[in-house]
Amino acid sequence: MSVRPPIHGDVEAGFGPVADAFRRNFDQHGEIGAAVAVYAGDRPVVDLWAGHRDRRRTKAWERETIVPVFSSTKGMAAFVVAAAVSRGLLDYEAPVARYWPEFAAQGKGSITVRQLIDHQGGLSGLDQVVKLDQVADLDGLAKILAAQRPAWKPGTRHGYHAITLGLYQGELVRRVDPAHRSLGRIFAEDIVEPLGLDFFIGLPAEEPIERVAQLAATGGLDILRYERDLPLRIGAEVYAKRGHAYAALTNPRTGAPARAARREFLEVELPASNGVGNARALARVYGAAAAKTGALPIDNAVLEQLSSADTADDVPAYDLVLHTKSRYHLGFRKSRGTFRFGTDKRAYGTTGLGGSFGFADPATGLGFGYTMNRLGMAVLDDVRSRNLREALLRCNP
């Protein structure tokens, strides 16, 4: 029987249930190393970490440990887009081609910024195989993205743009930024630096790779012990090498998720899928957004749009890639149906492969972040994250 590792960090009075749930995740749900954080506006109220940052459990998970968070990166990228809207550089309702004329090829001229970032563009896959070194060539990548034909009629359905979303967002903001900065650089200079975050979209050369926790795939008997929501249809499509899920999840060629903690993967910018950071950074950004503290370069009118009811009610809820019902709004997931988080429908955030999650709860002004290194297999709602979120709802600060 494994021994529960010591829990490190601080919890403000009234938030004890989160600490209790965090402990239970190690006792009952196979946690190896993890961190959870909650911010009330700009103030930390939960900041906990525990366990190990390697598969053999020989290296302690430390306060400054960072870890790949996969699609939880999408929320950070969506804030970069929101900042561009706030500055008047982008309009959610305008055609993407207004800012990027070449994008109009292959019948994409009417796709709006909103439709693109809400996974409605039919651009979840790429016909041309793209390798990591090609992702770093932004001009060459832009030509590949512009030439892509939609897989369905844009605006009529949605399907998770697992990797490609960030590539399209990156080129879009690069086009409108006055200095033509990449999305990762905008995020670093306009959000990370002012808030003092430990989060990167494109790991700098000076950051030691030893800081990054190793990831562990869940296999063997651990699947039976800890997993209840297996992505069987997605797995079948990937195995058969056909279908929307296969196209969305395997190109660009990035390698197996469990091998993500390597420099050649993390140093490029994949704004939808290869951010590396900690729970504290996620909670800090979402807390500032939820409480409208003014710490983000996004005005309150745009933050109100992020927390408003989603505008996709005319689009079927069934996700063509993930094979489940989901809702997206201005680049974020919304709390809907069986996947609920936060106090009410104003909550928004993004989940990451394996279980990571960050979200804003405008009803309470709280921001939440959870990161870990055992990769769970749930499509959306990892039980460890759910335990922590539900505990947060029971808190009485």
pLDDT tens column, 124-175? 999 999 999 999 999 999 999 999 999 999 999 999 999 999 999 999 999 9
Q: Exposed/middle/buried for 160, CB within 10 Å: 0-12, 13-18, 19+?
A: buried
Q: What is the rounded average pLDDT for all residues in the chain?
A: 95
Please state the rounded mean pLDDT for residues 37-50: 98
Please state the rounded mean pLDDT for residues 304-309: 92
pLDDT tens column, 80-89? 999 999 999 9
The separation between CA 318 and the C-alpha centre of its own chain, rounded to angstroms, equals 20
Whether 315 shows a pLDDT value over 90: the answer reads: no
Whether 393 shows a pLDDT value over 70: the answer reads: yes
Q: Strand 7-11 and strand 357-361: pairing?
A: unpaired
Whole-number pLDDT of residue 229: 85
Count of domains forming the chain: 1
Whole-number pLDDT of residue 102: 98
Work out the percent of the chain whose per-residue pLDDT is above 90: 92
Q: Exposed/middle/buried for 227, CB within 10 Å: 0-12, 13-18, 19+?
A: middle
Whole-number pLDDT of residue 206: 96
**Is the Cβ–Cβ distance between 201 and 77 less than 8 Å?**
yes
Q: How far apart are CA 273 and CA 133, in angstroms?
A: 16
pLDDT tens column, 210-253? 999 999 999 999 999 998 888 889 999 999 999 999 999 999 99
**Is the Cβ–Cβ distance between 47 and 280 less than 8 Å?**
yes
Give me Rg for the CA atoms of the chain: 19
* Residue 253 DSSP one-character state: B
The vertex-338 CA angle with 333 and 343, nearest 5°, equals 65
Q: Strand 216-217 and strand 332-334: pairing?
A: unpaired
Whole-number pLDDT of residue 309: 73
CATH of the domain at 141: 3.40.710.10
Give Cβ neighbours of residue 372 (< 8 Å, ≥ 6 apart): 31, 32, 33, 34, 35, 67, 354, 355, 356, 384
290, two tokens: 């939820």
At 116, the amino acid letter reads L
Whether 316 shows a pLDDT value over 90: the answer reads: no
Domain that holds residue 28: 1-397
What is the per-residue DSSP string for 256-325? -GGG-SSHHHHTS--TTT-EEE-HHHHHHHHHHHHHT-S-SSS-HHHHHHHHSPPS-TTS-SBBTTTSSB
- pLDDT level of residue 313 (50, 70, 90 thresholds): low
CA-based nearest residue to 254, from 161, 358, 163, 379: 163
3 state SS of 169: helix
Whole-number pLDDT of residue 1: 45
Name the residue with tokens 């989901």: 326
Instruction: Give 312 or 260, the one with higher predicted confidence.
Output: 260
